Amino acid sequence: MSTEASIDAFKKAQELIPGGVNSPVRAFKSVGGTPIFISEGEGAYLRDIDGNKYVDFVQSWGPLIFGHRDESIEAAVINAVKHGLSFGAPTEAETELAKLVVGFFDSIDKVRFVSSGTEAVMSAIRLARGFTHRDDIVKFTGCYHGHSDALLVEAGSGAATFGNPSSPGVPADFTKHTLLAEYNDIQSVKKCFEDSSDIACVIIEPIAGNMGLVPADKEFLHELRKLCSENGALLIFDEVMSGFRASINGAESLTGVKPDLVTLGKVIGGGMPVGAFGGRKDIMSQLSPDGPVYQAGTLSGNPVAMAAGFAALTKLKKNARVMTVLEERAKTLVNGMQKVAADLGIAMQVDVRGSMFGFFFNDKPVKNFSDAGRSDAEMFAAFHAGMLREGFYFACSLYETGFISTATTDVMIEETIKAVEKVLKEIKNG
């Protein structure tokens, strides 16, 4: 497999773009080698600028539930573009998509659209602070909620402590109101509430996708809901990644836990940049212009993005059974991978939620970020490189989640498992 064109393109990009990429994980730092530069996608496939073809298990990190260049979504975008790219004024398309989103989630009475998941989370936290008149927030180690200052934190000396900035450029004063707890550990959350009586909200990925796929235990989420209610704090489910991927009705439908606010993205944009946050009417009424909590954006509710999202969610609503099919294929994939690994004496942990799947080269179940960090990173890097050579495109970090699209066929799954066996044998035999 030749990647000369990608190597050359990466060199040129590095001269003009920091690290040669516009989002760090794309640089292949954790897996080695040169990032693949893509020329086009169609269905379940990607093609790079060298002409290599790959079965795509990333699907733009989640939004392409119907694969690349879905005809109905593509047609909706083209039609919207013919009427204008952006107006900075209300359109009926915003209301139509809002009605769809609200109809899927019991916990959402009203929703506001923004342009990214980061913006959705940042705005939801501001709203929670404005609603409760409190300053502190609780987040979990290993959960990623975008790159806003208050959320770029690392752990301090204890299991539950005020966070320290994890990136230069983030003042300590911006993170001093962020407390860190351990995912799936309710005692660490209780410690946060013991340390502070000023907690506005607890934000969590109920199905974490940014430390690999690590779902929260149902019992843990129920206890978390109880703690928030008892202490007057809001519970925010960050479903930017898992929304409409793990379930079309949100994590609340899988866990029985109802959050106060939900953040969304990915699928609701159908491949276009869209984010959203929504929740109870009394909370959302505090948002400007109805209330005092300010949030605005020129491209929020962009008509092209709204058209793509409406087409994607409408198609998903009409074909809800597809979620079961996607989950079955995801399970077939990871169970096949795990069996191949076990036959070779290689430890592998796997999990599936809807059309999301994850795997770790780890001899113990992964319940939190510390567990994920004990996975074999060298094995993953070798596996990633080997699968690329075989024509299969997996996420370029062991801390990311994989995705099945409706364009991913049973035959592709079988071919993937065969390639996994070949690659793992090569790694095992040195």
User: Within this chain, do residues 112 and 181 fall inside the same structural domain, yes or no?
Assistant: yes
Q: Any long-range contacts for 28-35 (C-beta under 8 Å, 24+ apart)?
A: 28/396, 30/377, 30/381, 30/396, 30/397, 30/398, 30/399, 31/380, 31/381, 31/384, 31/385, 31/396, 31/397, 32/381, 32/385, 33/385, 33/388, 34/3, 34/6, 34/7, 34/10, 35/6, 35/10, 35/396
User: Within this chain, do residues 276 and 223 fall inside the same structural domain, yes or no?
Assistant: yes
Tell me if 62 is assigned to some domain: no
C-beta of residue 213 within 8 angstroms of C-beta of residue 321: no
User: Within this chain, do residues 87 and 141 fall inside the same structural domain, yes or no?
Assistant: yes
| Domain final residue pick, 282, 298, 318 | 318
User: Within this chain, do residues 76 and 170 fall inside the same structural domain, yes or no?
Assistant: yes
Closest CA to 174 of 117, 122, 116: 122
pLDDT at 147: 82
What 3-state class would DSSP assign to 201? Answer: strand
Tell me if 64 is assigned to some domain: no
User: Within this chain, do residues 358 and 372 fall inside the same structural domain, yes or no?
Assistant: yes
User: Within this chain, do residues 192 and 205 fall inside the same structural domain, yes or no?
Assistant: yes
| Domain final residue pick, 318, 345, 366 | 318
User: Within this chain, do residues 48 and 80 fall inside the same structural domain, yes or no?
Assistant: no
User: Within this chain, do residues 45 and 132 fall inside the same structural domain, yes or no?
Assistant: no
pLDDT at 18: 95
Tell me if 65 is assigned to some domain: no
Rounded distance between C-alpha atoms, residue 124 and residue 130, angstroms: 10
Rounded distance between C-alpha atoms, residue 301 and residue 410, angstroms: 37
User: What is the dihedral sign for C-alpha 187, 190, 194, 199?
Assistant: positive
Q: What is the dihedral of CA 280, 112, 120, 283, to 10 degrees?
A: -30
Report how many domains make up the chain.
Answer: 2
What 3-state class would DSSP assign to 22? Answer: coil
Tell me if 66 is assigned to some domain: no
User: Within this chain, do residues 273 and 127 fall inside the same structural domain, yes or no?
Assistant: yes
Strand partners, 252: none
Rounded distance between C-alpha atoms, residue 172 and residue 292, angstroms: 27
pLDDT at 59: 97
pLDDT at 173: 78
| Domain final residue pick, 272, 303, 318 | 318
Strand partners, 45: 42, 55
Tokens for 316? Answer: 């998903």
User: Within this chain, do residues 184 and 285 fall inside the same structural domain, yes or no?
Assistant: yes
pLDDT at 157: 32
Rounded distance between C-alpha atoms, residue 214 and residue 25, angstroms: 19
Tell me if 388 is assigned to some domain: yes
Tell me if 63 is assigned to some domain: no
User: Within this chain, do residues 41 and 108 fall inside the same structural domain, yes or no?
Assistant: no
CATH of the domain at 344: 3.90.1150.10
Q: What's the average pLDDT block by block, 10 residues per block, for the chain (430 residues)?
A: 95 97 92 95 98 98 97 98 96 98 97 96 97 96 85 53 69 84 96 96 96 96 98 98 96 97 96 97 97 95 97 96 96 98 98 98 96 96 97 95 97 98 94
CATH of the domain at 302: 3.40.640.10
pLDDT at 161: 44
User: Within this chain, do residues 199 and 90 fall inside the same structural domain, yes or no?
Assistant: yes
The one-letter code for the residue type at 91 is T
Give the residue ranges of DSSP H helices in 32-156: 71-83, 92-104, 117-132
Closest CA to 270 of 208, 316, 209: 316
* Helix and strand counts by DSSP (H, E) for the chain: 14, 19
Residue where the block lists tokens 């770790």: 360
Tell me if 336 is assigned to some domain: yes
> Active-site residue numbers?
144, 238, 266
C-beta of residue 214 within 8 angstroms of C-beta of residue 358: yes
Closest CA to 94 of 239, 258, 308: 308
- Residue 349: which domain range? 4-57+321-428
Q: Exposed e or buried b for every residue in 146-184, given b needs 16+ CB within 10 A?
A: bebbbbbbebeeebbbbbbbeeeebeeebbbbbbbbbbb
Tell me if 88 is assigned to some domain: yes
